[in-house]
Amino acid sequence: MIKRWGSLELGPATREAYGRALAELGAENPRIVVLDADLSKSTSTSSFSKANKERFFDVGIPEANLVSVAAGLAAGGFIPFASSFASFLVCKGHEQLRVCCAYMNLNCKFVGSHGGISLGEDGPSQQSIEDVALAACLPGFTVAVPADEVATRALIRAAAEHEGPVYIRVGRPRAPRIYASGERFSFGRAKTLSDGNDVAVIANGLMVATACRAAELAERRGVQVRVIDCHTAKPLDEAAIAMAAEETGAIVVAEEHLVRGGLGSAVAQVAARRRPVPMEFVGLEDTFAESGTPEELFRAHGLTGEHLLGAVFRVLERKAQPGTT
């Protein structure tokens, strides 16, 4: 699929798209129940609770209880979607995700809201920089970060259909529209947004739009970028990654996340195993961020299109050196 990106218009935040998708699912399927941890307006689970009071449970702030109650509901035959901010859900609730949901392989769905540093001014205690890594550590979990409204709706619906535990990260700010309404998604099937054989830029979430921007800038300098939206961190689309490595010979991975343990690490393992190529990683380098607007934070922490372009040219330099990877 070839995409002409131009300037991407802003659509609603992926957290809003989540709320709407939940409301739809709630009307269609009486087994869907929703839980929140006192953040229902922020996470948009209030879109579900308005019409489905009996099937909505606000457990209050305790995230450990949130996760285990959801597990009990799943074991009891329902399909729970449970939310809080990604940082609290996955960090505070991690052991419960591990022993209740992953170990029992229960059919519960967790949506971490306000993921990444684009949460902004509230600061690092609330900003998840490790949720994808931690969620992907859980055996049997499906882990995804949708880029826009269309992707979110599709992946939330896919989560409801999927048998097994799922973690999806959504974000606070409005998200650039990447996909046309009706675009179909499956877990583990990455989306190639542009042809290009000089370098592949693999990204997820808000970084997909950033990758498109970088690709546009690169194209002006004669570099053809293959942009891949690798929305699912687990299971990874190994075929797409291997093909990108084979056909482009250089990969940059960009994520709104620590560079360690998230999408970049996972992609690197696949490339190392199947088709080693020079790689660069764009993300947070072993640091928390701070208070600021999303734009300021992305500039300060290397997550802009310009930073991504820099990574593209660094990896191309390494690709050009014979005998090295």
Burial string for 232-249 (b: 16+ CB within 10 Å, else e) reads bbbebbbebbebbbeebb
Choose between 54 and 163: whose C-beta lies nearer to other proteins. 54
Q: Please select the residue that binds other proteins; options are 17, 22, 32, 33, rule is CB under 8 A.
A: 33
**Distance of alpha carbon 68 from alpha carbon 102, whole angstroms:** 11
Q: Least distance to other proteins from the beta carbon of 111, Å? A: 18
Find residue 144's DSSP bridge partners.
168, 232
Q: Least distance to other proteins from the beta carbon of 28, Å? A: 17
Residue 7: CB atoms within 10 Å: 8
Choose between 165 and 262: whose C-beta lies nearer to other proteins. 165
Residue reference for tokens 């890594």: 133
Q: Does 76 bind other proteins (CB under 8 A)?
A: yes
Q: Does 57 bind other proteins (CB under 8 A)?
A: yes
Name the catalytic one among 16, 24, 63, 130.
63
Question: Looking at residue 87, what DSSP letter applies?
Answer: H
Sequence-ordered list of residues with C-beta below 8 angstroms from that of 67, at least 6 positions apart, any chain: 82, 89, 93, 96, 97, 100, 101, 110
Query: Taking contact as CB under 8 A, which single stretch among the options 99-107, 111-119, 244-252, 285-293 is the one that binds other proteins?
Result: 99-107
Q: Could you tell me how many residues of this chain bind other proteins (CB under 8 A)? A: 29
Q: Please select the residue that binds other proteins; options are 6, 77, 182, 222, rule is CB under 8 A.
A: 77
Q: Least distance to other proteins from the beta carbon of 52, Å? A: 11
**Distance of alpha carbon 160 from alpha carbon 165, whole angstroms:** 10
* Residues labelled catalytic: 63
- List residues near other proteins by CB under 8 A: 33, 54-55, 57, 59-60, 62, 64-65, 67-78, 80, 95-96, 99-100, 103-105
